[in-house]
Amino acid sequence: MTRRIVVIGGGQNAEHEVSLATATAVAQALRSSGFDVDELTIDRDGIWGRGTDALGSQPIGSLAAALSVIERADAVFPAVHGPSGEDGTLAALCALTHTPLTGSGLRAGAVGMDKWATKLVAQAVGIRTAPGRLVAAADIAGIEFETHVVVKPASAGSSFGVALARDASQLRDALSCAARFDDRILIEDVVVGREIDVAVLREADGRRWASPPLEIHTDGVFDTLSKYDGSARFSVPADIDSADRAALTRAALRMFDALGCAGVARIDFFLTDHGPVLNEVNTMPGMTAESQVPRMFAAAGLPYEQLVARLIDAATVPGPTSPGSERVKA
């Protein structure tokens, strides 16, 4: 029997367009693999739609209509990056409706989306992070200058609001920009190292494995502009020695497990002279064929369509129990 999958894209945050691109690519890949696909979209104002049709004029009514679509699904593929999506919101919806979904549940999504909480988890399991501190957006006027720091919203994606500050003027501008995306802001010391990503996939049988590492080549901070204007270059597998690759793989798997991730996650590091330093975790990473995660798994011999299909095979009803308790029907 053909499995019916609902792909959810869009969302009410700065990553709306990026999420739409992921959702479109995932839906196309699933159809090419023989799945029956429904596409739901969350508009910027919270109105749910199906295809090009709005499902209502108010968020609550459109959500009720969307739930009737989700009710008929064998699994949900949430492709909403950022707040009110990647942060566990859609995982909670699927938990309440007992619908299998691809990816991490509420707890892993919420903690992974919060960069400060992620730092605390990493430190607890012995993974180094950049020295930094958390400040409230309401208090940024009184923050004294700190030289050579990176400023970022505590909970945002696609590097929105991330900036390098080398002087007092840049710091003021960076703090003001970050405050547009979150009411909590991280100020971190600059880490000197190579930017290396590792993706981790949990298969349907519970086995999880790490992709070959990918290196990001860019001038300055890998910010939103360089992510999407084509100026950044990627090399995969990254040109690193076996010891560094082993250290990155161990750290990525440890972080995946510590957060309780499922499906796929991208773990971002700086590779320094003293080993890996965690940058952040993405529990709903970009998933077009050109995105970093599919590139990494393609380098391991897993093509894009098969990667997406495996995520469906591993879909579970999110909840407090371990992954695999209730899976999508084959």
| Of the listed ranges 121-125, 222-226, 279-283, the one predicted with least confidence | 222-226
Distance of CA 72 to CAs 5, 76, 177, 180, Å?
9, 10, 42, 38
Q: Which amino acid is at 183?
A: D
Is the dihedral angle over the CA atoms 84, 18, 133, 183 positive or is it negative? negative
pLDDT greater than 50 at residue 65: yes
**Based on the domain organization, do 246 and 123 belong to the same domain?**
yes
pLDDT greater than 90 at residue 52: no
Residue 155: CATH number of its domain:
3.30.1490.20
**Based on the domain organization, do 197 and 181 belong to the same domain?**
no
| Of the listed ranges 52-61, 257-266, 315-324, the one predicted with least confidence | 315-324
pLDDT greater than 80 at residue 321: no
**Based on the domain organization, do 11 and 144 belong to the same domain?**
no
pLDDT greater than 70 at residue 11: yes
Distance of CA 6 to CAs 3, 36, 38, 185, Å?
10, 9, 5, 34
**Based on the domain organization, do 196 and 251 belong to the same domain?**
yes
| Of the listed ranges 103-117, 213-227, 262-276, the one predicted with least confidence | 213-227
Pairing of strands 208-210, 194-202: antiparallel
User: Of 9-18, 158-167, 302-311, which has the strongest mean pLDDT?
Assistant: 302-311
**Residue 226's pLDDT band (boundaries 50, 70, 90)?**
low
Residues 46 and 166: their CA atoms lie apart, in Å, by 38
Assigned domain for 320 exists: no
Distance of CA 13 to CAs 45, 111, 215, Å?
10, 18, 27
The total of other beta-carbon atoms located within 10 Å of residue 204's CB is 17
**Residue 322's pLDDT band (boundaries 50, 70, 90)?**
very low
Assigned domain for 270 exists: yes
For the chain, the maximum distance between any two Cα atoms, rounded to a whole number of angstroms, is 63
User: Where in the sequence is the domain holding 145, given as residue range(s)?
Assistant: 131-189
**Based on the domain organization, do 309 and 250 belong to the same domain?**
yes
Instruction: Among 171, 189, 207, identify where a domain stops.
Output: 189
Residue-averaged pLDDT of the chain = 91
pLDDT greater than 90 at residue 329: no
Assigned domain for 325 exists: no
Per-residue DSSP letters for 152-175? EESS--TTTT-EEE-SHHHHHHHH
Residues 45 and 298: their CA atoms lie apart, in Å, by 36
**Based on the domain organization, do 147 and 23 belong to the same domain?**
no
Per-residue DSSP letters for 42-64? E-TTS-EEETTEES-SSHHHHHH
Assigned domain for 328 exists: no
- HSE toward the beta carbon, residue 173, CA cutoff 13 A: 8
Residue 203: CATH number of its domain:
3.30.470.20
**Based on the domain organization, do 118 and 95 belong to the same domain?**
no
Residue 221: the pLDDT is: 58
* ∠ Cα 202 205 211 (to 5°): 30
**Based on the domain organization, do 36 and 123 belong to the same domain?**
no
Residue 142: the pLDDT is: 83
What is the tally of structural domains in the chain? 3
Residue 19: CATH number of its domain:
3.40.50.20
Kindly state the DSSP code that residue 263 receives in the 8-state scheme.
S
pLDDT greater than 80 at residue 159: no
**Based on the domain organization, do 214 and 150 belong to the same domain?**
no
Looking at residues 106-128, what average pLDDT do you find? 96
Residues 262, 323: contact at Cβ < 8 Å? yes
Pairing of strands 275-282, 264-272: antiparallel
Looking at residues 117-140, what average pLDDT do you find? 94
Does this model's pTM top 0.95? My answer is no
